[in-house]
Structure 1
Amino acid sequence: MTVLFQDVAYAFRQLRKTPAFTATVLLTLAIGIGANSAVFTLVNAILLHNLPVTDPKTLIRIGDKDDCCVNGGWNDNGDYSLFATDTYYMFKRSLPEFEELAAMESGYAWRPITVRRSGPQTVAKSFTGTFVSGNYFRVFGLSPAAGRLFVDADDQKGAPITAVMSYDAWMQDYGGDPGVIGGAFYINTKAATIIGVAPKGFYGDRIDTNPPKYFLPMNTMDTVIGAPYFNDPDSQWAYIIGRIKPGTSVPALQSKASELLKQAYAPLKTFSDQRAKKVLPLTHVVLSPGGGGIQNMQDGYKDHLKLLQWIAALVLLVACANIANLLLVRGMSRRAELSVRSALGAQRRRIVRQLLTESVLLSGIGGLLGLAVSYLGAHALLALAFPDQHNMPVAASPSPMVIGFAFALSLVTGILFGLAPALMAARTQPAEALRSNARTTAHGASFLQRSLVVLQAALSLVLLVAAGLFAQSLNKAQNVDMKLDTTNRYIAHINPQAAGYKNTEVEPLYQTIVDRFHGIPGVVKVGLSTYTPMEENNWSSGVKVQGEPDRNKGASWVKGTPEYFDSVGTHIVMGRGFTAQDTLKAPSVAVVNKEFVKQFFDNRNPIGHHFGFSGVSKTPQDGAHEIVGVVEDTTYTSVYWKDHAMYFLPLTQRAGLANDADPDNSIDKDLSMYAGAIVIQTAHPIDGFEKVVSDTLGSINPNLTIVKFQTFKQQIDDRFIEERLIARLTSLFGVLALLLAGIGLYGVTAYTVVRRTPEIGIRMALGAARGRVIRMVMRAAMLQTVAGLIIGIPVAVFCVRYVKSQLYEITSVNVPVMAVAIGVLILAAAIAGIIPARRAASIDPVRALRIE
């Protein structure tokens, strides 16, 4: 230990003697390790996140896919992850291998609730709420922060409506007021009692950008939000997670659950269709780890996060190569010192240990600085990935795992970039200390040093190409002609059902909304719809054209009011749009897009033809809707969704039914009657328009609140958050790698000039011109860069195959991107080489010879 302390103290003295070298190495390390730790912080918080529950390793989910939100029908591969209420109870009864099974709502984000505390002057507000089984908190092994959590008696039909509030909601909305517990509230205008507060740090059963603030028993779902699918054995709406008993074989349990599901599905109406009967034998479930909760968000972000990990690792590799070069140069400059120490009896392993101690000390300090960089970087990554989200259950602070990762990375980095220079320096012979430097015409830099520069150049090119491709992909995606107009358009999301309106009451409500908003100065168009073009939502159904064979195809559908198409900027290209006469009692009509015409009519004129849902009704309804118009192919949901067939229905008409011939599909069960958004076009921008909209809705009904307000442009921009994040970060990492490579090339070139000073002096004394000296130095520098290009170009072309799935309409490296990347790298190399080249050309021959 005494020797170790001596080595550390000596290392500190050596580092203090060369502040420029120390600062450069620490900065390089901080960038390399900090970038990796920042990305790993995000990876740890999202991909490796476990729920803050008791013993998460024993939690198992029945299912493995993101099948949000309410599904009907069957799927071709037979893999199910979303289940009906009856199926949940069947599993609960028939799978004693689970200590308990809990059910939870899959699509709570799409149907917010309206909450108002009882009392005078209280205001109704829109919140995210979720419905869960009575044993939900018990399965997770949680204790309340205040009050109590659900028990089985709370989740019985006819039980009083109760709710558990999230800890964040309790603190943010009510300041931790203990009077909330047992207090009377109104949820969707229904009287409810808050019985407790969930524990701090528990955000529900999944990572979500908008986690639930209220938990309600699932048997109150139909009463509170009017969810007829809750009691429908053919409607799948719930995820299931349970705690498995010790010693249970998961493969055997998976086989048993799959067989039970197959038996439960056989008698359902869904599988009465001949095509469905053929896929029934494929019915199965996949049991997956449940400790991290429902993995919807993880599945959506894992590809991009893994890509960022690889890019950050490449930056670290460039940084390590740079530091190794710096240490090699420093080691060569200390040859005289090491020769003296060797001549005085120092053993080679002692010298190597001393030099390694300096390297590990540098990397340790760099690791500490990297942690600081990672903390700031993780916050920046979160802000880029989830803008305007303030309740994200993702912490940017480094966890113990991240801290351990950073220091392990520091240690490995220190050993890697310190070992080779230490071994080379330790080979110094004692005799070198006893004689003066010999004149040399050597090339100065070693093969290893030049190889490291070549490696840096190659990796920098790969990162520059990646940055160019992702920037080009983002630009192409954002500039797609979506057939939408965002100019002076605003979107206010609403939930009439949560305000207490029944299906049969919405028609006059919508007319009132349109009339009130048209009374606001500057308002041009007012359209209502179930959802809007570029929000992350999609309703779809099978489509059967009357009088034609079933093509086994589906299409997305949206319901809207007469001014909806104008409000979003979609143009009618044939026939007509909706009119005020297309009411509930009028004949059912539809407008389809051009892709619908292509897929279902082979581009024949569809006007006057009828179609309806396929495979969902006992009574044939393929003539439900008459096509009265065709619109252009407006982009919905995502620009990545090609060949998107769509049809549009009047908001107050039935979906898929011409009348109430099917008693299982009465109007009381038709949730599509509820508008989800108002799209408002104005003649000019209006300051404070959100408050104007809120006041207008409040004047109609105090419970009619804004769920979310944004401009149409903001909504579209939000769909490119991930792409923008990747493009910016790849560009940043590419610039960092280029900077590090430039520093490395400069260092090696400058070192070469110093080593060859006597040689250059002789050349100039013999008549060599300054230009020739500059060309000689620049040629050596550019040859290393060209060697890097020769390696980097095929590597970049090869790597595109692994990221093309994340690029928009780009499948290979195109010439402009490659040319720009090569040009930028050559320019950086030229700048890095010209400085020492000019310095070499200014050498005084007399002084150079005097050095000897």
Structure 2
Amino acid sequence: MNSILQDVSYALRQLRKAPGFAITAVLTLALGIGANTAIFTLVHAVLLRNLPVADPATLVRVGDRDDCCVNGGLPRDDAYSIFSWELYKHLQASTPEFEQLAAMQSYPWQMTVLSNKPGSLAKGVPASFVSGNYFQTFGLQPFAGRLLTPADDMPGATPVAVISYQAWQRDFGGDNSIIGSTFLFKTYPATIVGVAPAGFYGERMIDSPANFYLPFALEPIMSQSPLLHAKPANWVYVLGRVKPGTALGPLQDKVSANLRNWLGENLDLYKRADVKKHLDASHVKLTPGGAGIENMQQEYKSGLYLLLTISGLVLLIACANLANLVLVRATGRSAETSLRMALGAQRARILRQMLTESLVLSAIGGLAGLGVAYAGTKMLLSLAFPASPNLPIHATPSLPVFGFAFALTMLTGLVFGLAPAWLTAKAQPAEALRGSGKGNSGARGNASLLQRGLVVLQASLSLILLIAAGLLSKSLNKLEHQDFGFKTEDRVVIHMDPENAGYKPEQLSGLYDEIEQKFHAIPGVEQVALAGYSPLEGDSWGEGVFLNGKPEPGPDQDIGSRWLRVGPEMLDLVGENVVLGRGLSAQDTAAAPGVAVVNQTFVKKFFHNGENPIGARFGTNGMTSTNDFMIVGVVKDAKWAQPREDDQPRYFRPLLQLAASDPKGEGRSLHTNTIMLHTHGDVAGLEAQSRRILASINPNLPVMYYSTFADQISLQFTQERLISRLTLLFSGLALLLAAIGLYGVTAYMVARRTSEIGIRMALGANRGSVVAMVLRQALVQALVGLVIGLPVALACVRFMKSQLYQVEGADAAVLGFAVVALVVSACVAGIIPASRAAGIDPMVALRNE
């Protein structure tokens, strides 16, 4: 222990003697370790953290996909991940292998909530319906009051709710009087019986966790078109805790069999004639549930691992750079090392001493890196989730993050210190006794070879990162600037929820008219349109299409289409130009014949050989419904759902028209949630005016969301923007480190060859030839790195394909940019020592020799 303390003390003294070296090394390490730790903090929070519940290892999810939010019909590949309430109850009753099997809404919905605080206004907050055994399944205890129980989830039970700890603290300052008070949820009263435990954010990580949890039994009371007992409506996730000793393989088979039994008893729910064919293939997958419903994990996994890999490459470049610095410093101390060995020091002790210096330096850099990591994590969160202030991810490093940083620090110290220490320890004692002070020429040769190898490695890795950054930046540019098919300038998106405010279907016509009139009266507003959803909001309705006069669809025939209710001004407002027939108009009222406007992809899918779609009729409730809607117009294609998806078949219907074949089945779609405005430039105070207008119409009709249309589209690319910007930042840092490394090696070479250069110039060599000689050596190392790095980069691009959009891996412009950037940086790094070499005075060099 004493010798270790002596080594540490000696290492600190050596660092104090070389402050320039120490500061450069610590800053390099802080950036490398800090960047990796910051990204690992995000990786750990999103991908590696279990739910804050009891014994998460025994939790199992029934399903494995991100199916949202209310689905009907048959799922993709006959794999079920989202269920109806009735199907959940069947699985719960028929699978005793689960100690508890809980259900939860597939996504928290915005719900109008009015608290009991004097003067409070109704506001939209995320809330979720859950089964009565929800909190029991997770083994949770309340922070205050009590949690929901199965008795609360029975018909006729007293309406109750549980508030999340975060909402309780944020919105009510931890006021205990909240417990036992009555809140209005969608205008219906419910008593707050408790506060969920601190740190619990629900069964999954999402950007807007539920503020309130209500039992499913309240859903039919609070919803005008209830889903609870609608067997065709799949809208709940299922997650449970298995009994000890239960094997998941046989349990998965049993759950799948129980699923098929229920489906077989309810075949009449499906409109497809081939449903029996799918029955035998229907199944579920049981997946680990310790991390909850991993929708966000699936979305961010590839991007975060890509960033972790890229930051690891930057750290490797930093290690190579530091190894070069340490090697130059160690070579300069070779005479001292030889003298110590001549006086009896053991090679092992010399090696340990050199490694101790590297580890001490790395530890100091690691501590500085934690500060960089904290600031870096805050920056990452603001870039990754700019519109998600309530996301349960925090910048404060946790114990696993500290462990990662410590392990990374020690590994880094070993990586950049081992080779220089080994070469230094090979110094011969006789070298010190010769008195030349120049050390062993063989060792110097090995050191020089290692230095050049490290520079080549840095150049190769820098090229790989430059190519990655170029591809991601080009992909992001194509995503952001593609033709979505919409006009975005001077457009505003507002969300509301008439159903939450208690409006019945027969009251909607008057409400919509009043909204349009009052918003049209705002100075500067040119168009006002209502719709079920706005473009690129990521949601819409979907049904199978049955055409009049066409044969009944065959087995496995794709007849799906997306659809949307829109006001008469909506398509024109967003720039969906009519290319055939007419658009929807104010005359297409609830009492008028059913009509629809379709897009070009709809026509291509359902009409062939030049058939004219105008006047054709179709329905969505089987072949008996084919007279429900008549096609009156065709609009150009546009990307309403996802920016990466190709245009989908889609049709648009008037706001209040019902299908004649099933008017009751369409009640949910009548409640429009979106208002879009087209303004003449910026309108001052438009958001405040919008809130006042809705509040004047009904105090229970708050603005739940307000954004410009351009900003809404921009938020679609948050993840891509994060990855692109960080990769660009890391590639720039890597190039800078590689240039510094090349500069250091070249400067060291010039210093070693001072006498040789002096002799060359004394014999007639001009300055230009000396500069060319030095630059040639610098460029050769960069070019060797280029030759190695280019094929490696092209081979690695296939791992990035999921992150790229309309960009090929072998993009000539990106490859050319990366090569030019590397060559230019090599020239810049080499020109300074080359100029110094050309300025050597031959007489001074010979005198020193």
After TM superposition, the score normalised by the length of structure 1 is 0.96
Q: Which amino acid aligns with 1:55?
A: D
Counterpart Cα distance in 2 of 1:142 and 1:687: 48
Q: Which amino acid aligns with 1:605?
A: N
1:637 aligned partner:
641
1:493 CA displacement = 0.5
Asked whether the 8 Å contact 1:743–1:832 carries over to 2, the reply is yes
1:445 CA displacement = 6.0
Counterpart Cα distance in 2 of 1:535 and 1:733: 32
1:535 aligned partner:
537
Counterpart Cα distance in 2 of 1:640 and 1:604: 30
- Render the CA deviation track for 1:368-418: whole Å, top value 9, x for unaligned: 111111111111111001003211111221111011011101111111221
- What is the aligned counterpart of 2:618 among 598, 611, 622? 611
Asked whether 1:840 is paired with 2:837, we answer yes
Paired positions, count: 840
SS in 2 for 1:71: coil
SS in 1 for 2:625: coil
- What is the aligned counterpart of 1:504 among 497, 503, 506? 506
Q: Point out 4+ residue stretches in structure 1 off by more than 4 angstroms.
A: 437-445
Asked whether the 8 Å contact 2:638–2:647 carries over to 1, the reply is no
Asked whether the 8 Å contact 1:188–1:500 carries over to 2, the reply is yes
1:477 aligned partner:
479
Counterpart Cα distance in 2 of 1:243 and 1:289: 10
Question: Within 5 Å, which residues of 2 pair with 1:794-833?
Answer: 794-833=791-830
Counterpart Cα distance in 2 of 1:391 and 1:76: 32
Q: Which amino acid aligns with 1:314?
A: L
1:451 CA displacement = 1.0
1:203 aligned partner:
201
Q: Percent identity?
A: 51
2:187 aligned partner:
189
Counterpart Cα distance in 1 of 2:599 and 2:359: 65
1:280 CA displacement = 1.0
Asked whether 1:580 is paired with 2:578, we answer no
SS in 2 for 1:590: strand
Counterpart Cα distance in 1 of 2:107 and 2:562: 18
Asked whether the 8 Å contact 2:351–2:422 carries over to 1, the reply is yes
Q: Which amino acid aligns with 2:175?
A: D
Asked whether the 8 Å contact 1:444–1:751 carries over to 2, the reply is no
SS in 2 for 1:47: helix
1:622 CA displacement = 2.2
1:562 aligned partner:
568
Q: Which structure 1 segments of 5+ residues have no match? A: none
Q: Which structure 2 segments of 5+ residues have no match? A: none
Q: Which amino acid aligns with 1:201?
A: G
Counterpart Cα distance in 1 of 2:417 and 2:835: 31
- Render the CA deviation track for 1:638-695: whole Å, top value 9, x for unaligned: 22111311111111112xx2x1x44xx516x521101111001111211221110000
1:653 aligned partner:
657
Counterpart Cα distance in 1 of 2:338 and 2:35: 39
2:391 aligned partner:
392
Counterpart Cα distance in 2 of 1:119 and 1:721: 37
Q: Which amino acid aligns with 1:752?
A: M
1:353 CA displacement = 0.5
1:748 CA displacement = 0.5
SS in 2 for 1:800: helix
- Render the CA deviation track for 1:4-41: whole Å, top value 9, x for unaligned: 00000001011111111111111111111111111110
Asked whether the 8 Å contact 1:265–1:271 carries over to 2, the reply is no
Counterpart Cα distance in 1 of 2:116 and 2:430: 93
1:771 aligned partner:
768
Asked whether the 8 Å contact 2:335–2:438 carries over to 1, the reply is no
Counterpart Cα distance in 2 of 1:127 and 1:76: 31
SS in 1 for 2:155: coil
1:535 CA displacement = 1.1
1:272 CA displacement = 6.9
Asked whether the 8 Å contact 1:270–1:276 carries over to 2, the reply is no
1:256 CA displacement = 0.9
Counterpart Cα distance in 1 of 2:152 and 2:83: 22
Bigger mean CA deviation after superposition, 547-556 or 798-807: 547-556
1:339 aligned partner:
338
Asked whether the 8 Å contact 2:327–2:447 carries over to 1, the reply is no
Asked whether the 8 Å contact 1:74–1:270 carries over to 2, the reply is no
Asked whether the 8 Å contact 1:444–1:752 carries over to 2, the reply is no
1:443 CA displacement = 7.7
Asked whether the 8 Å contact 2:472–2:804 carries over to 1, the reply is yes
2:264 aligned partner:
266
1:600 aligned partner:
606
Asked whether 1:61 is paired with 2:61, we answer yes
Counterpart Cα distance in 2 of 1:501 and 1:220: 18
Change (3 A) 1:320 1:555: same
Q: Which amino acid aligns with 1:155?
A: D
SS in 2 for 1:193: strand
Counterpart Cα distance in 2 of 1:118 and 1:749: 74
2:223 aligned partner:
225
2:631 aligned partner:
627
Asked whether the 8 Å contact 2:104–2:238 carries over to 1, the reply is yes
Question: Within 5 Å, which residues of 2 pair with 1:514-533?
Answer: 514-533=516-535
Asked whether 1:699 is paired with 2:724, we answer no
Q: Which amino acid aligns with 1:825?
A: L
Counterpart Cα distance in 1 of 2:498 and 2:210: 20
2:713 aligned partner:
716
Counterpart Cα distance in 2 of 1:101 and 1:279: 26
- What is the aligned counterpart of 1:743 among 740, 747, 752? 740
Q: Which amino acid aligns with 2:119?
A: Q
Counterpart Cα distance in 2 of 1:396 and 1:531: 34
- Render the CA deviation track for 1:48-101: whole Å, top value 9, x for unaligned: 121111111111111111111111111352211111111111122121111111
Asked whether 1:73 is paired with 2:73, we answer yes
Q: Which amino acid aligns with 2:758?
A: G
Asked whether the 8 Å contact 1:527–1:563 carries over to 2, the reply is yes
1:224 CA displacement = 1.2
- Render the CA deviation track for 1:536-558: whole Å, top value 9, x for unaligned: 21322222221123352211111
Bigger mean CA deviation after superposition, 22-31 or 263-272: 263-272
Asked whether the 8 Å contact 1:444–1:756 carries over to 2, the reply is no
Bigger mean CA deviation after superposition, 19-28 or 262-271: 262-271
Counterpart Cα distance in 2 of 1:568 and 1:434: 86
Q: Which amino acid aligns with 2:599?
A: N
- What is the aligned counterpart of 2:461 among 459, 462, 481? 459
1:365 aligned partner:
364
Counterpart Cα distance in 2 of 1:526 and 1:794: 55
Q: Which amino acid aligns with 1:525?
A: Q
Q: Which amino acid aligns with 1:126?
A: G
Counterpart Cα distance in 2 of 1:126 and 1:415: 54
Counterpart Cα distance in 1 of 2:33 and 2:532: 47
Bigger mean CA deviation after superposition, 492-501 or 64-73: 64-73
Asked whether 1:52 is paired with 2:52, we answer yes
Asked whether the 8 Å contact 2:231–2:269 carries over to 1, the reply is no
1:782 aligned partner:
779
Q: Which amino acid aligns with 1:562?
A: P
Asked whether the 8 Å contact 1:765–1:845 carries over to 2, the reply is yes
1:412 aligned partner:
411
1:175 aligned partner:
173
Counterpart Cα distance in 2 of 1:342 and 1:573: 89
1:96 aligned partner:
96
Asked whether the 8 Å contact 1:51–1:205 carries over to 2, the reply is yes
Counterpart Cα distance in 1 of 2:438 and 2:385: 62
1:142 CA displacement = 1.2
Q: Which amino acid aligns with 1:448?
A: L
Asked whether 1:468 is paired with 2:453, we answer no
Asked whether the 8 Å contact 1:85–1:236 carries over to 2, the reply is yes
Q: Which amino acid aligns with 1:408?
A: A
RMSD: 1.6
Counterpart Cα distance in 2 of 1:167 and 1:56: 20
Bigger mean CA deviation after superposition, 783-792 or 645-654: 645-654
Counterpart Cα distance in 2 of 1:425 and 1:575: 84
Asked whether the 8 Å contact 2:58–2:290 carries over to 1, the reply is yes
1:362 CA displacement = 1.1
SS in 2 for 1:72: coil
Counterpart Cα distance in 2 of 1:789 and 1:4: 42
Counterpart Cα distance in 2 of 1:90 and 1:385: 40
Asked whether 1:850 is paired with 2:843, we answer no
